[in-house]
Amino acid sequence: MMVAHRRLLFSIVILVTLLLQVAVAGEISLGSVKPDILLTATICWALFEGPTRGALFGFWGGLLEDVFTTAVLGVGAFAKTLIGYFSGELRQRVVSKSVVWPMLIVFVGTLLHELIKFAAWTMVGLEQRPPLEPGVVFGLALYNAVLTLAVYPLLARFASREEREMMFQ
C-alpha cells in the first residue's frame, strides 16, 4: 500500500508542478527571464529522493512539458532526466542544515540544464533553436535558486521521513 501511495504522490507533485510551469511561470517572469518551476522541483525532489527518483521525476516532468509546450519533443525530458539523476547523486555527498546548498545546486543545475538543451538542439540540427544568451541563462539560474526558497520546504513535506532526516532542514 505504501508503494501505491508514493506513486500517487509522485504523480500529483509532477502534475501540479507542470500546471504551475505552464500556467503561472509566464506570469511571474522578470523581463525575459521566466522561471523553470519544473526544473527547480526536479532538483529539489532529487535531493530528497535520490538519483533514480530524481531522474524519473525529470523524465516525466520534462516529457509532459515538451508535450504541452512548443518545445522539441524529448529535449526537455532528456535534459531534466540528466539533471535529476546527478542532483540525486549529490544527496549522498552533501549533508547540511543550510538552505544555501539546495540553492547552489539549483543554480548550477539550471546552468547545466540550459547547456544540455542547447547542445541537444544543436546535435539534432534544429534551425530555429533559441540562442544561448549568457545573461538570460544566468538570470534564470538566479531566479530558480531564489525559487528554491519556496519549492524546497514545500517538497520537504512530501519526502519520506528517512529522507527528511538525512537532508537539509
List the domain boundaries for the chain.
2-23+35-161
**Rounded to two decimals, what is the model's pTM?**
0.88
Mean pLDDT of 27-38: 92
What pLDDT score does 94 carry?
74
C-alpha cell, 27:
506570469
C-alpha cell, 39:
526544473
Query: What band does 109 get if pLDDT is binned at 50, 70 and 90?
Result: very high
Mean pLDDT (the chain) is: 87
What's the CA gap between 101 and 56, in Å, rounded? 22
Beta carbons of 36 and 140 less than 8 angstroms apart: yes
Query: What band does 120 get if pLDDT is binned at 50, 70 and 90?
Result: confident
Query: What band does 98 get if pLDDT is binned at 50, 70 and 90?
Result: confident
C-alpha cell, 50:
535520490
Let me know if domain 2-23+35-161 sits in CATH 1.10.1760: yes
Count of residues for the chain? 169
Cα dihedral across residues 158, 21, 72, 43: positive or negative = negative
C-alpha cell, 153:
520546504
What's the CA gap between 34 and 18, in Å, rounded? 14
